[in-house]
Structure 1
Amino acid sequence: MSIADIRTDYSQSELLETATDADPVVQFTKWFDEAVKAGVKEPNAMGVSTVSADGRPSSRILLIKNFDQNGFTWFTNYDSRKGAELEQNPYASLLFHWVDIERVVRIEGRVEKVTPEESDAYFHSRPVKSRLGAIASSQSRPIADRAELEARYAQVEAQYGDNPPRPDNWGGYRLKPDYIEFWQGRRSRLHDRIAYMLNEKGNWKKTRLQP
């Protein structure tokens, strides 16, 4: 089979303007809950795309840790590639793809760091081994081999034991959305797309987009 012949004709659901909430965060919450109930594997997994100062984009998969009216939050190493790019260009996009229920959500907006208190609270809620790994790994930096990485981990474990502190270069980011789009797969590629755009008055405008 040719790659060009691989396709799916979506048929599970529809997305009409009358069935969507006026608030896109409320709508996202509804869809997220439905993804969880449907048994979608890792419904909290999302693509995070950033852009460097010279306009070069990069993407990676992360796990969202919180979302509410204040924004969408995840945690990472501030010295990583995405951290460096957000320092240069504080805008990003998020992408959720829930294949099992034929849905996609795109979210765009400005990104800011969360407070140190929020980062502390989440860091200390993580499993000890994950906290030790965050200290041992200089994320996005080259390393000679796996053995060196494991040696660093063993050194950190010996130093901190079961109470590793949060590194200063590790913490949360929050994306404050100004664009959220909901995509529902439909037959014959006539997909439903409902986009919410934040206007200059701080109000959301809902629009249907052609597929």
Structure 2
Amino acid sequence: MQPIERWDYAGEGLDEHDLPAAPLPLVERWVQDAVTRQAAKGDVPEPDAISVATADAAGQPHVRTVLMRYLGPDGPGFYTNYTSRKGVDLQENPKVAAALTWPPMFRAIRFVGVAERMTPERSADYFGSRPYGSRIGAWASRQSQPSGSRADLEEAVAAYERMWPDTGSADDVPLPDFWGGYVVRCAEVEFWAGRSSRLHDRLVFLRTGDGDLADENAWRVERRQP
């Protein structure tokens, strides 16, 4: 085993006086900071990559990284095949955790809550904005199911391309009824900021009311030990 290269997490940290009264403005700011950093330095690829952890009915956890393609007052969101591993897990157990992580910036955000399906209208709007190949791929891939070969997948893609040729329109491929979005209705949002000697800052918004991520009356903040 190669020697471990150790890094000192010399980040800016995070203090209570830097926090807004609700989590959404800081989530949006940190995401935009990551996008800006990627544009300037190129060391934060896929700044909206989010790890999503689910658990099946037996309690077995599963985690994977997807793209956060939605962020609003109701929570962060992602899209998937409802029959995928994550989709089946969420049908059996809607409790979910997710994390955005930006190592070069010594920052991370952790979300804990319950996943709810987005409306078909919202899913359709996003689906229509995807590239043609991604829309065809949503039909061709039986996500998380066993596959005989790569050729099988490519044959399925070709068949759907013949069925729905690329016309340059957002409507040339219909929305699959087994595909759509989830939004995480958060009960907890943690902001992690790396500090030297592993003495990191962890400031956590905890839900105290029924409001959304922008509601200043729905949250309290606690600091946790690193």
Class of the TM-score when normalised by the shorter of the 2 chains = over 0.9
- In structure 1, the partner of 2:122 is 118
1:6 Cα deviation after fit: 2.9
- In structure 1, the partner of 2:191 is 182
Pair 1:130-2:134 in alignment: yes
**Cα gap change, 1:205/1:82 in structure 2, threshold over 3 Å: closer, same or farther?**
same
Aligned pair partner of 2:182 in 169, 173, 179: 173
**What's the CA shift string for 1:168-210, capped at 9, x where partnerless?**
0001111111100011110011011001100256520101101
- Structure 2, gaps ≥5 residues long: 39-43, 167-171, 212-217
Distance in 2 separating the partners of 1:59 and 1:7: 26
Aligned pair partner of 2:64 in 47, 60, 63: 60
1:2 Cα deviation after fit: 4.2
1:70 Cα deviation after fit: 1.3
Q: Higher mean Cα deviation, 63-72 or 197-206? A: 197-206
Letter of the structure 2 residue corresponding to residue 47 of structure 1: S
Pair 1:149-2:164 in alignment: no
Letter of the structure 2 residue corresponding to residue 208 of structure 1: R
Distance in 2 separating the partners of 1:151 and 1:192: 50
Distance in 2 separating the partners of 1:170 and 1:98: 28
Provide the secondary structure at the position in 1 that maps to 2:20.
Answer: coil
Provide the secondary structure at the position in 2 that maps to 1:55.
Answer: coil
Which structure 2 residues correspond to residues 12-51 of structure 1 after superposition, within 5 A? 12-39=11-38, 40-51=44-55
Distance in 2 separating the partners of 1:139 and 1:41: 24
- Structure 1, gaps ≥5 residues long: none
Contact 2:78 2:182 in 1 (8 A): yes
- In structure 2, the partner of 1:204 is 219
Letter of the structure 1 residue corresponding to residue 133 of structure 2: K
Letter of the structure 2 residue corresponding to residue 152 of structure 1: A
1:61 Cα deviation after fit: 0.6
Distance in 1 separating the partners of 2:132 and 2:31: 28
Contact 2:209 2:219 in 1 (8 A): no
Provide the secondary structure at the position in 2 that maps to 1:38.
Answer: helix
Residue correspondences, number: 210
**TM-score using structure 2 length:** 0.90
- In structure 1, the partner of 2:214 is none
Distance in 1 separating the partners of 2:208 and 2:60: 27
Provide the secondary structure at the position in 1 that maps to 2:111.
Answer: strand
Pair 1:194-2:193 in alignment: no
Provide the secondary structure at the position in 2 that maps to 1:124.
Answer: helix
Provide the secondary structure at the position in 2 that maps to 1:50.
Answer: strand
- In structure 1, the partner of 2:169 is none
**TM-score using structure 1 length:** 0.96
Distance in 1 separating the partners of 2:140 and 2:78: 20
**What's the CA shift string for 1:100-135, capped at 9, x where partnerless?**
101111001111111111111111111111100100
- In structure 1, the partner of 2:86 is 82
Letter of the structure 2 residue corresponding to residue 101 of structure 1: M
**Cα gap change, 1:153/1:16 in structure 2, threshold over 3 Å: closer, same or farther?**
same
Runs of 4 or more consecutive aligned structure 1 residues displaced over 2 Å after TM superposition: none
Distance in 2 separating the partners of 1:197 and 1:7: 33
1:80 Cα deviation after fit: 0.3
